Amino acid sequence: MKTITTAQEMYLALQSERRQGHSVGFVPTMGALHAGHISLVEASVRENACTAVSIFVNPTQFGPAEDLSRYPRTLDADTRMLKNAGCDYLFLPSVEEMYPPGASSWVSVEGLDQHLCGLSRPGHFRGVTTIVAKLFHIVRPDRAYFGQKDYQQARILQKMNRDLDFFIDLKIMPIVREADGLALSSRNRYLDHSQRQQALVLYRCLELARRTARDYRQNVPGLLSMLRAFVRSEAPQARIDYISLVDPESLEDVDRLQGSALLALAVFIGNTRLIDNTLLEA
């Protein structure tokens, strides 16, 4: 695996791969890698002649009160995991490399950010789409891999891909979970023992929704208030940011369950904001 820190060198390395007729798969990450990230890398290795992964803790997607400075950084372990998974290129740019002084260009996908996480994290998705557009320009992948765990992010990036003609085959891969159901996340490292137990409430809430959704097909507000009451009783110290049932394409709230809908939630366990989601079928 080759580690590269400048955009120019990364661009040239991948250009040389493409010129040899090699397909390029790409997995953007913020590091602190876990089996969820590695599942994306493995999919890329299976489907492409060469795989590039970026690790960049992107400051423009963090709000002023968020965890940028304490975001976990575990580069040695990340590098080992990527080598074992068969990654060919690790792109590891500095903040100055990605945002040269005076950089003032943004990519924003309007509309889809007015729902779910976009409401409590203003500016977050503009940071995501800007950095991913830049990484796409540098790497020029044939395929790029994202996790359903960040469903709204993946939807917004799919729209950016269409709207701005990147012509990348964008794949959304299943959520990888711990044995007890907790979705893997770099932020799980923040949880102490008792918070780790409380964090299970997200998965249990999704399971409860899957079991009961049929009974609430005509009464989505009833379903959501039942789920909120469940979270409050199971994890009294947790703080619900949102529990919503939305159209999987438009991300707009639905009031009846017809076809498929996305149940998504964000819950603070202590200071740690965790998200999870599942698709429900009527």
Active site residues: 37
CA-closest candidate to residue 22, choices 50, 44, 41, 52: 50
For position 36 contacting ligand AMP by CB under 6 A, the verdict is yes
For position 30 contacting ligand AMP by CB under 6 A, the verdict is yes
Binders of ligand AMP among 39-58, rule CB under 6 A? 39-40
Residue with tokens 């009783």: 233
Q: Give the residue with the Cβ less far from ligand AMP, 28 or 257.
A: 28
For position 152 contacting ligand AMP by CB under 6 A, the verdict is no
Residue with the CB atom nearest ligand AMP in the bound state: 147
191 backbone dihedrals φ, ψ, rounded to 5°: -80, 135
For position 264 contacting ligand AMP by CB under 6 A, the verdict is no
- Among 17, 88, 113, 150, the residue binding ligand AMP under the rule CB under 6 A is 150
For position 175 contacting ligand AMP by CB under 6 A, the verdict is yes
169 in helix, strand or coil? strand
Q: Give the residue with the Cβ less far from ligand AMP, 130 or 186.
A: 186
Segment contacting ligand AMP by CB under 6 A, of 37-45, 79-87, 106-114, 245-253: 37-45
Residue with tokens 């960040």: 150
For the stretch 207-216, contacts whose Cβ atoms lie closer than 8 Å and that sit 24 or more positions apart, written own/partner, are 207/181, 209/263, 209/278, 209/280, 210/278, 210/280, 213/257, 213/263, 213/280, 213/282, 214/282, 216/257
- Report how far residue 29's alpha carbon sits from residue 128's, in angstroms, rounded to the nearest whole number: 11
Q: CB-hemisphere CA count at 13 Å for 92? A: 14
Buried b (16+ CB within 10 A) or exposed e, 198-231: bbbbbbbbbebbeeebeebeeebeebbebbeebb
- Among 25, 29, 143, 188, the residue binding ligand AMP under the rule CB under 6 A is 29
Segment contacting ligand AMP by CB under 6 A, of 4-12, 80-88, 142-150, 192-200: 142-150
For position 277 contacting ligand AMP by CB under 6 A, the verdict is no
Least CB distance to ligand AMP at residue 176 (A): 4
Which residue type sits at 101? P
For position 186 contacting ligand AMP by CB under 6 A, the verdict is yes
Report the C-alpha dihedral over residues 75, 133, 176, 261, rounded to 10 degrees: 160
Least CB distance to ligand AMP at residue 129 (A): 13
Q: Return the bridge partners of 79, or none.
A: none
Least CB distance to ligand AMP at residue 214 (A): 27
Can you read off the two tokens belonging to residue 143? 């395929």
Segment contacting ligand AMP by CB under 6 A, of 86-94, 106-114, 168-176, 191-199: 168-176
- Among 51, 147, 209, 224, the residue binding ligand AMP under the rule CB under 6 A is 147
For position 149 contacting ligand AMP by CB under 6 A, the verdict is yes
Number of residues that bind ligand AMP (CB under 6 A): 17
For position 176 contacting ligand AMP by CB under 6 A, the verdict is yes
Interface positions with ligand AMP (CB under 6 A) = 29-30, 36-37, 39-40, 146-147, 149-150, 173, 175-176, 183-186
